[in-house]
Chain A
């Protein structure tokens, strides 16, 4: 998609420091109109700081950013009129109803009352909350609150949506539900910047992914491009009953460049010729005392990309 549409968000050498501590160290990228750009990185990568600057909440230390041609510092109010911002926290007032909340936020965008009412109904229907619109938000589940967050972010019908970790803390079912609504928004042609530390989320929802780490943008491309950057490698994923000390070291000689990724009770190694490597890796694992539960040969994920780029795991 990049290159075909106009630029919706332009970030140039953006730096943000908190009392001398850098949170963003010269980030530059462009997001095109109608695309979903995933900002993937672990906690502390600078995603939320970047979102806050784009939303006009924080001032950058240096560098500049534009949203739909408006400078986020000099034309902050114009930017805030154009964007929809969905922070990771529940932004609804829990003591009020969903309807009251959407109506309130609509008022902040100078919508007349009748228009706000119509908009609130439309949005609550969109996120499937109209039936419970008059219930206090405190009675909502985590997933319902995130959907309400989305509705609130859409109250001004924004062309650019900033979604900051919209599914953090949700169970997988609720997360998939939120994804469905984000996909619906993508289908409407809105530009979406999606900050997340879930690689499945970035992979599934993003047209392009910007990988961030320690305040830097370390890679940018489509998920496929990024995964290809790992090399023509396959991933051998060995699931064990229990991760034992020494297993990682035992498998390292069989993985390309010695990279071994441990994740819960799974170990991932990388191989150009998985059929040849697999028997020897299994033997090494058994010798290291591992009780093998399952073996999969898969393609690399964004997690693997992150590991390759930073030497560390995403989470």
Chain B
């Protein structure tokens, strides 16, 4: 029979002891704040737009004729005005141009020297060909050696000149229409468009949920940090539950009181759950203070009401894992060290701290079935990405089953450790 008052007394005592333990408070409160600050500053920002340093060389003798409709100088002017606006409203120029006159060698030397990302060379008669409807060639040099920068520079410049080409084609068709008889069938115009654009590909950008804006990223990290706390602190709480009392020499006295072993387990688990909840709350509030997108409104989204259940199941799983590993420890220090040694790698390889898509295939399979990862993913889905019951209900049975199984095994381990401790 379990004594309600005894369980509460054990839980209250444990909470008070943790409150006086600076090291425990560091791991539960200060560590997540520190980690989140670092993450927000270092990673939780969308990649800024790229500005390419481009050298412009004009070998075009027709550029300054004065009677042409579109010259190399016009292209350079357009390039100088291309910009993108970031999530924060900042306007960023896509090209930072440097005029090299007709000195190709100097431009290429700077490209090789790393001062430029690319060089655009307008050959002779570029302006003439552009204005009179012929094919105008452009030479583009891109700096190699860094595959990423090379790909980016190539893609941006190619895209720019493709767009320029498309618009020029459109303008030419409009001009051509003016010289056609009024009864020209529309099919001819369409056919001309077909000549200009045999394939019209439309690119749609799909951003992974985790990377949707700064607020989304910060929300992602805030929930991830709560998961890390559940994993590391939860396992440590389970691992040290009995050996800590033995080290403090209070275990014999506790067991001489009219309480059962389950009173002790339940009381200490309650205290652990409370601290994990506090730590998770710290993660969420700190994230919100940094503008993270996290919401909790069970009236608007009933799935939010299941978040505490998900947290409870995740926490019980971690505490259960800690109880199991406590079988291998002789002292509280050893138990804590063992819990840390196991939980830290798990934090990375189970996709709690790193997005699952960053993991290699075998680890991704582990992450897909690791209960705490499932709980954290489901919490994130509903609190950060606004999903509903469809994100929670499919994982709930597995989570509940695993929590019962692992905590149950932990309870058996606890009994063994208790017996061994006397």
Q: Write the residues of chain A forming the contact surface with B, with a CB cutoff of 8 angstroms.
A: 52, 55-58, 77-78, 80-81, 83, 85, 87, 89-96, 100, 103-112, 136, 152, 162
- Is B255 on the interface with A (CB-CB < 8 A)? yes
Given B253, B254, B258, which contacts A77 in the complex, CB threshold below 8 Å?
Answer: B258
Asked if B9 CB lies within 8 Å of chain A CBs, one says yes
Contact (Cβ within 8 A) B8 A87: no
Known: A80-B257, A93-B17, A109-B258. Contact between A57 and B252, CB under 8 A? yes
Closest residue on chain B to residue A164 by CB atoms:
B252
A-facing residues in B233-258 (Cβ within 8 Å): 248-250, 252-258
Residues of B with C-beta under 8 A to A77: 258, 260
Q: Are A100 and B257 in contact (CB under 8 A)?
A: no
Q: Does B21 contact A (CB under 8 A)?
A: yes
B21 to chain A, nearest CB (A): 7
A85-B253, A110-B3 known; A93 vs B258 contact (CB < 8 Å): no
Query: Cβ of A104 and Cβ of B12 under 8 Å apart?
Result: yes
Residue of B nearest to A103 (CB): B9
What is B's interface to A at a CB cutoff of 8 Å? 3, 5-6, 8-10, 12-13, 16-17, 20-21, 248-250, 252-260, 422
The reply to whether B20 and A95 form a contact with Cβ atoms under 8 Å apart is yes
Q: Which residues of B contact A92 (CB under 8 A)?
A: 250
Q: How far is the CA of A83 from the CA of B5 in the complex (A)?
A: 19
Q: How far is the CA of A100 from the CA of B3 in the complex (A)?
A: 19
Given A52-B422, A96-B20, A100-B16, A108 contacting B259 (CB threshold 8 A): yes
Q: Which residues of A contact B8 (CB under 8 A)?
A: 107
- Given A81-B258, A87-B249, A91-B249, 18 additional A-B pairs, CB 8 A: A52-B422, A78-B258, A80-B257, A85-B253, A87-B252, A91-B250, A91-B253, A93-B17, A94-B248, A95-B16, A95-B21, A96-B16, A104-B9, A105-B253, A107-B12, A109-B257, A152-B253, A162-B256
> Does B12 lie within 8 Å of A55, measured CB to CB?
no
Selected A-B contacts with CB under 8 Å, 11 pairs = A52-B252, A77-B260, A80-B256, A85-B256, A91-B253, A104-B13, A107-B6, A108-B9, A108-B258, A109-B6, A112-B5
* Ranked 5 nearest A-B pairs via Cβ: A107-B9, A89-B249, A91-B253, A85-B256, A108-B257
Q: Please determine whether A108 and B248 come into contact, CB atoms closer than 8 angstroms.
A: no
User: Bound complex: CA of A55 vs CA of B253, how far in Å?
Assistant: 9
Whether A83 contacts B256 in the complex (CB less than 8 A), given A96-B20, A108-B6, comes out as yes
A250 to B3, CA, bound (A): 66
Give the distance in Å from the alpha carbon of A91 to the alpha carbon of B252 in the complex. Answer: 9
Asked if A108 contacts B254 (CB within 8 A), the reply is yes
CB-based contact A96/B13 at 8 Å: yes
